[in-house]
Structure 1
């Protein structure tokens, strides 16, 4: 398949390495004979391919993203392939300055200013905003079928009851906005303390911004208050920021719950560390006072 794809794009490849930390696509970094680096991205499903294809069209000239050099719509054996430019830098880590965190806020808010295009027919990116609560609920109860096989009955029942109580306290959705749905450090590229851009758009939707802060807070913002404040200032320089203290507890809880279901679907042994991390997070949420809201 790889040989076929390389021929499809007429690439002269010197070396190729699979990229780690990609969970919805297979990604290869290719060094060409001329020394240039490009990326081949092969989504797991046709829908993910279509979403990402539309995202490149919608986001270009609005936020920094890789250049879509070419793409192939695939065949009966392949859902499609993207040929992407290299975005200089490395994924976001805690070893950055407040200036970089400010820029993360700016690019995140800039993405959230993007609304459903009036003149572009979308077949991949769904606009979930009008029924946002139903969308979140569908995701939760879909993963619940998997979580049920992992948690003991008492803990599982407690989680469902907690979800039903917490969802009643959410404010009105903020949008409709382009939401990444996987906005985490691995998908934010930093080069010399400057944000190069954002990658990976196979999960995007138009919906409420409130869902899009969860993973960034989990994996980055929660560890350093100075970086958190810089991020918020960057975000607010572009658009108003919702009250994260109101919405984050709900989405942190559902993220832990849904992640347990994700581990069940993708393999408990292979994802044992991530499973344990989210089991601890879920149990901690359930131990907290029911008056958290």
Structure 2
């Protein structure tokens, strides 16, 4: 059955209201919108804070309450189409305030399921292939109609979270003022960086494997046109999370091994990604992460002591380059 037969004609509509929907209700909505779908074949395979993901035949269907993430992913996949085995974008649509992205399904098993099965040579080859295709992602130039000033993005992110942070009972106005001053002081530290499309979530769950070979990189919804160093910083923050949650969960040796190994291969095979990284850049990236954590104080996972531990370990300029 062709894509047109299944999904019909799709069109763009302006975003209006964010809604939340139970999985079964959402499934019924999809079956109503696309009557040629099979109710048996349509299966929910993933749920996160941002979206729900369904599999149906050779398609992946993402449905989100976020007004930007799936539209962005659709546009990035269009730019990457034909450059390698990235998912092929089929359509992006808004229907009754549901944001729906449809793309091709890749043959896959997530690397997180298989990493422990590979020997060192097999791991090394997979990592080299990942880095090769990260370069492909970074080769996507910023469209001429998009202006990127990352210093302004840093500033906008601060003000976007400011009001929520001020409601955090553990945070003083003095602390907020100090953060504001530091952001103002260092927000321009990425001005000399190369700007391109970045994936921004190269976690091993987003790496697909078949027959011990890399077959795809997925989940571009967090991507953006940013300094390329941010892909490395995101890996660094995954590593920080693994290390600092060892006291709460079983030690994630495999995940830590993957992150350390990938970062080492990047340094060897993609030195231009890391050679210009400065302590100021790491500092401002970590400071933004700290401020974002403060803004999440109403969420069930929030622990202010842990947030302060992050600040004390990773928001000081001294010796930050040792993290690289």
- Scaled by the length of structure 2, the TM-score of the pair is 0.68
- Counting only pairs closer than 5 Å after superposition, residues 22-171 of structure 1 correspond to structure 2 as 22-30=48-56, 36=57, 38-68=59-89, 70-71=90-91, 73-92=93-112, 95=116, 97-117=123-143, 127-129=146-148, 131-150=149-168, 151-153=170-172, 154-167=174-187, 170-171=189-190
CA spacing shift, 1:117–1:161, aligned 2, 3 Å:
closer
- Counting only pairs closer than 5 Å after superposition, residues 110-259 of structure 1 correspond to structure 2 as 110-117=136-143, 127-129=146-148, 131-150=149-168, 151-153=170-172, 154-167=174-187, 170-191=189-210, 193-220=212-239, 223-224=256-257, 225-236=260-271, 241-246=274-279, 247-259=281-293
Please tell me whether the aligned partners of residues 128 and 205 of structure 1 are also in contact (alpha carbons under 8 angstroms).
no
Please tell me whether the aligned partners of residues 78 and 88 of structure 2 are also in contact (alpha carbons under 8 angstroms).
no
Determine the C-alpha separation between the residues in 1 that align with 2:80 and 2:235: 20
- Scaled by the length of structure 1, the TM-score of the pair is 0.74
Please tell me whether the aligned partners of residues 142 and 197 of structure 2 are also in contact (alpha carbons under 8 angstroms).
yes
Determine the C-alpha separation between the residues in 1 that align with 2:133 and 2:37: 32
Determine the C-alpha separation between the residues in 1 that align with 2:180 and 2:80: 37
Structure 1 residues 82-140: Cα deviation after superposition (integer angstroms, max 9, x where no partner) = 2441440115487462333323322222211110346xxx7xxxx342x2211121112
Query: 1:7, CA displacement in angstroms?
Result: 4.6
CA spacing shift, 1:176–1:166, aligned 2, 3 Å:
closer
Structure possessing the higher radius of gyration over alpha carbons: 2
Determine the C-alpha separation between the residues in 2 that align with 1:148 and 1:163: 17
* 1:19 alignment partner, one of 46, 52, 65: 46
Determine the C-alpha separation between the residues in 1 that align with 2:305 and 2:208: 27
Q: Which position in structure 2 is the counterpart of 1:33?
A: none
Q: Which position in structure 2 is the counterpart of 1:268?
A: 299
Flag structure 1 segments of 5+ consecutive residues without an equivalent. 31-35
Give the RMSD, CA atoms, in angstroms.
3.3
Determine the C-alpha separation between the residues in 1 that align with 2:167 and 2:289: 17
Please tell me whether the aligned partners of residues 71 and 81 of structure 1 are also in contact (alpha carbons under 8 angstroms).
yes
Residue 54 of structure 2 aligns to a residue in which SS? strand
Determine the C-alpha separation between the residues in 2 that align with 1:276 and 1:52: 35
Query: 1:240, CA displacement in angstroms?
Result: 5.5
Please tell me whether the aligned partners of residues 60 and 103 of structure 2 are also in contact (alpha carbons under 8 angstroms).
yes
Determine the C-alpha separation between the residues in 2 that align with 1:140 and 1:192: 45
Flag structure 2 segments of 5+ consecutive residues without an equivalent. 1-25, 244-255
Higher RCO, 1 vs 2 (CA within 8 Å, ≥6 residues apart): 1
Residue 23 of structure 1 aligns to a residue in which SS? coil
